[in-house]
Amino acid sequence: MKSTIEKYKMASRKEKILVACSGGKDSTALALILKKNGFAIEALHIDLGLGEYSRNNRDNLAKFCKENFIKLNLVNFREEAGFSLLKALDKCLEKGESPCSICGPVKKSILNRKAREMGFTKIATGHNLDDECQGIIMNIFRSSPSASNFGPSSNPKKDSGLVTRIKPLFFCAEEDVRKYARMQRLHVSGKICPYSVNVYRREIKNRLDVFEKKIPGAKNAIVKNFISVSSRFCKKERELGRCLKCGEPSSGETCMSCKAICKAVSLLKERRQRIK
Ligand code: SF4
Ligand code: ZN
């Protein structure tokens, strides 16, 4: 992780880094390694309000941060987004739609806005080698290699309103992060989100694990090769404007987060009408 930070000039020890902490093993391990290596970090946790799963994550993270002298910023999804994620995701599942299409963009927007408002220059996320490798294969199979968002570090324009995102665990295998979390006896539950129904990603993950066993280093090679060729087909990033609804950075009139909120609100309206 240290060599990735250095090679990609991700961060210096003088700047403020906000670590997006879900309470899972990757982001918790990331926070600990950054802290141990002298980076000025704070943690931000978005409480999704998804029952026991969210309560466990929040409590584990609070304990971890207290023990490691890391300031924890808690944000409540419902207060920020104005709707109950739990009810919206239940409705999504009922209709056979992807819960992550609502949760993901709203979380991302909250994280960026909070980091910017609190004066952080970097947002660190716990994406690991396996996540990145799965993403590459999934996008290739869907013939949408979105190279513009790919890489260990984003590079937004200065006045775009976007805070630079860094992924220090980009070249760390998930299994190694898991071992590290065990060795450090981190308080993590290991449970996956109850709304994570992405069977496609899981299938890709299982197949990549089989390849990795047969050809050790396969995942690393896929990611490194993709980095070396991605600049050739990377579409030029579109100029970012501002969302007409919320004022956050957006490539269209309405940002992805506002679109997701609109969708959630209409799903919840349907739900209320049915209950009546
Ligand atoms: Fe949200 Fe769960 Fe999907 Fe993650 S897996 S984006 S927490 S619904
Ligand atoms: Zn918006």
Global pTM exceeds 0.85 = yes
- Is residue 147's pLDDT more than 60? no
Distance CA 264, CA 85 (A): 8
Taking CA atoms, 143 is separated from 42, 108, 147, 234, in Å, by 38, 24, 12, 13
pLDDT for 198 equals 74
- Is residue 273's pLDDT more than 90? no
Q: Using only C-alpha atoms, what is the Rg of the chain? A: 19
**Each residue of 153-181: pLDDT tens digit?**
998 888 889 999 999 999 999 999 999 99
Which residues line ligand 1 at a C-beta cut-off of 6 Å?
A: 99-100, 103-104, 193, 195-196
- Name the token pair of 196: 């994570």
String of DSSP letters for 199-229? HHHHHHHHHHHHHHHHSTTHHHHHHHHHHHH
Probe target for ligand 1 pocket from 27, 46, 100, with the most ligand atoms within 8 Å of CB: 100
- Is residue 148's pLDDT more than 60? no
Q: Measured in whole angstroms, how far is the alpha carbon of residue 156 from the centre of its chain? A: 17
Work out the average pLDDT over 254-264: 97
Probe target for ligand 1 pocket from 86, 103, 107, with the most ligand atoms within 8 Å of CB: 103
Work out the average pLDDT over 50-74: 97
The residue assigned the tokens 């990549």 is: 208
- Name the token pair of 111: 């994280």
